[in-house]
Amino acid sequence: MKKLSLIKYMAGLLMVSGAAAAADLGNGFIDHGVCSPVSSNKGATVATDADGNDMLVCILADYRGANGIYTVTPATGKQEFFALPFAPDASYAVFSSLYSSGNRYYSLHSSRLTEFDPAAKKFRVFPTHRGMGMAMTEADDGTIWTVTYPDSGLVGFHPETGRFRDFGPLRKESWAQYHRTIAADDAGWLYFGVGNTRAQLVAYHPENGKKVEVFPENERPEGACGVVFRAENGKVYGTVGPYYNQRDTTDAFARAKAIKPAPQWYEFHRGESRKIDGPPQITLRPVVTGSQGFYNYRMRDGWKVDLFNPVERRARFIDPQGKSVTFNMEYPSEGAHISTVAATSDGLITGGTSFPMRNYVYNPADGTMINRNGCVQWNTVLPWKNHVFVGGYNGGYLFDWRLDEKFDGIPRFAVQARGNPRYIAHAGKALIRPHVLKITPDGRHLLMGGTPEYGHTGGGLAVWDRESGDFSVVPNRDLIENQSVYALAMLPDGRIFGGTTVEAGTGGKVKSKEARFFQFDLASRRIVWSTVAVPGAGTIHDLTALPDGKILGIADKKEFFVFDPTSKQVVRRWNSGEYGLAAWQQGPRMFVRDGDDIYVLFKRHIVKVDPERGGFGAAVASPIEIHTGGDCLDGRIYFASGSRLYSCRLPDGGAAQSN
């Protein structure tokens, strides 16, 4: 374990805005620095130090994943950061954590069960099957149990005896399984809920391996998740409902009881279940745990938590005499993952980051970087004239930011953004994760496509009429059933073409085999024609209109095609060849335009496209892996890798190469 000295490290990180340190990487590439040098809170709890003082313990994560534990003891004023003794894996993040009765803090991420002892300031780490903990509980005998994504794996650990058991996956589905709660009864049985494509409630006995599932296959609720709760009477109670991010078990139970219409509830004991009427009138057994939004701020030594915000690096406590004590939080961070990069009409580079959700603005003229609240994940960013339109996850939020007016900031909740940027509407369950945002040539209509809520298949298409103010969502039944709109191309004559993905909403089941290329009629709000442009492709990732009226597309990050709207035929097809896969983000910007010139951002190359010949022209190798693209400004292409913003000179010269 490594404890870091933080004073020097923090000197360049505390400013919300300031000059970004640029570094010339050679061959026309420049590193413009970290856009948002902060980490996100993946779970926080009050614990006790070696002297009996209350301390706040927090799991912090940057773009690499969860990478350490931050602690602050308000009575002594001491802050510390403890780096994890292994490299994090952002693919398997923290989705649950637990503070035990033995004063230990647990999480399972990066395929490792991690225990932190706040008194001894030490870690214990146990490698597990590949996955991440989605729900945790503490049994009566002190065993810490975790159920994992994606195959309902199970891990058990007894802190006092050191007995560690990895049961591996307990059940298989054709889709990734999500969980929110796990509970143990007083007879040694475990219970957990499954979602989101089809819900299930599962009972499992870890000593004899017996497993019982409540719902027959043909009766499993769709688009939902099971939840379970341990009561003081030794029994467990469960039901099925929406998939929620919950603060703790009390919050989860309150949400479950409030579901309308009221679902069927079950009582569990010794592996058996029975139906009961309505939400149970029970007292929950105290288990201090929750999902990725977990926090436990109940201090016991007279202090109170008044504010704890790692993203803004501010913590404030109230001492036993009522005096406020503020801390500038000191911790190292390599910054938040950059999710979008776009160039504005007034010469700036802007976009969003994820976990935490921030907005950054980089000024190439003076090298300054602004890092501020973004409220939602900026999946899609569309600069247009003096506007920047934003499509945000989770909920399909649409914002309008006017560059020629004062920036008022974005409040904590998106719907409260009534100034600049202005909240327009949100698409809701039909479209929670935007993948494409385009405007019609006349500037009147904005179209946003993407995937639906967790566990569902087939997304809607949002349409905003900027003249009338009307915002509506075309349902999936009027589009390509069980697919979602992923790419759009607007032709000068007003015709709209698009491409789909067969991918479902998170945790959902794929129900189609091939993505489709389609024509959308704005007047009737319906798809009037569709075809398979690239046989076997699952996603058409990006489209752009060519000067001759044709459309250039890319599917599955490597298959290029040119479509002729007149003949309604694909007239050219080729693949990426030696360049491999194009750089991808949730709102793909694989095609970067500089007037009529079109470039593609591959993971290790930036390449000019020659749609006339069906191949590539000038290319430049990137010294870093390209994660997020991309836009062109003043002869440079801007892109991101991890948390850092980069740019390179436009490639030029060279003959086209067919593939």
CATH number of the domain that 172 lies in?
2.130.10
Radius of gyration from C-alpha coordinates of the chain: 26
**Other Cβ atoms closer than 10 A to 129:** 14
133 occurs within a structural domain: yes
Structural domain containing residue 162: 38-328
Considering the domain architecture, whether residues 118 and 219 belong to the same structural domain is answered as yes
Does a cis peptide bond (omega within 30 degrees of 0) precede residue 150?
yes
Buried b (16+ CB within 10 A) or exposed e, 507-521: bbbbebebbbbbbbe
Does a cis peptide bond (omega within 30 degrees of 0) precede residue 37?
no
Q: Are 620 and 605 in contact (CB under 8 A)?
A: yes
510 occurs within a structural domain: yes
DSSP label at 9? Answer: H
**Other Cβ atoms closer than 10 A to 72:** 20
Q: What is the pLDDT of residue 5?
A: 34
Q: What is the pLDDT of residue 8?
A: 30
Considering the domain architecture, whether residues 418 and 505 belong to the same structural domain is answered as yes
Structural domain count of the chain: 2
Q: What is the pLDDT of residue 16?
A: 54
Please name the residue that has the structure tokens 């214990």: 124
107 occurs within a structural domain: yes
Rounded to an integer, what distance in angstroms lies between the CA atom of residue 507 and that of residue 509? 7
Query: Can you say whether residue 12 is alpha, beta or left, with left for phi > 0 and alpha for psi between -120 and 50 degrees?
Result: alpha
Percent helix, strand, coil in the chain, to 5, is: 5, 50, 45
Considering the domain architecture, whether residues 395 and 464 belong to the same structural domain is answered as yes
What is the separation, in whole angstroms, between the first and last Cα of the chain? 50
Residues of the chain with pLDDT under 50: 1-15, 653-659
The token pair at 186 is: 């007083």
Q: What is the pLDDT of residue 18?
A: 67
Considering the domain architecture, whether residues 184 and 288 belong to the same structural domain is answered as yes
From 521, 552, 583, the end of a domain falls on 583
Considering the domain architecture, whether residues 180 and 321 belong to the same structural domain is answered as yes
Rounded to an integer, what distance in angstroms lies between the CA atom of residue 464 and that of residue 561? 29
Considering the domain architecture, whether residues 273 and 354 belong to the same structural domain is answered as no
Q: What is the pLDDT of residue 457?
A: 96
Considering the domain architecture, whether residues 146 and 289 belong to the same structural domain is answered as yes
From 546, 563, 583, the end of a domain falls on 583
Considering the domain architecture, whether residues 323 and 341 belong to the same structural domain is answered as no
Q: Could you tell me which residues come within 8 angstroms of residue 569 by beta carbon, excluding any fewer than 6 positions away?
A: 563
Considering the domain architecture, whether residues 342 and 263 belong to the same structural domain is answered as no
522 occurs within a structural domain: yes
Considering the domain architecture, whether residues 234 and 378 belong to the same structural domain is answered as no
**Which residue, 49, 47, 68, is CA-closest to 57?**
47
401 occurs within a structural domain: yes
Torsion angle defined by CA atoms of residues 635, 36, 607 and 580, in that order, rounded to the nearest 10 degrees: 180
590 occurs within a structural domain: no
524 occurs within a structural domain: yes
- How many helices (H) and strands (E) are present in the chain, helices listed first? 2, 58
Considering the domain architecture, whether residues 407 and 524 belong to the same structural domain is answered as yes
- β 484-490/496-501 pair status: antiparallel
From 583, 611, 636, the end of a domain falls on 583
Considering the domain architecture, whether residues 121 and 259 belong to the same structural domain is answered as yes
DSSP label at 222? Answer: B
Q: Where are the beta strands (DSSP E) in 205-264?
A: 211-213, 225-230, 236-241
Q: What is the pLDDT of residue 20?
A: 63
What are the C-alpha distances in Å from 323 to residues 318, 326, 328? 5, 10, 17
The token pair at 541 is: 């990732």
CA dihedral (39, 41, 46, 50) positive or negative? negative
**Other Cβ atoms closer than 10 A to 331:** 25
Q: What is the pLDDT of residue 31?
A: 98
Looking up residue 410, the CATH number of its domain turns out to be 2.130.10.10
644 occurs within a structural domain: no
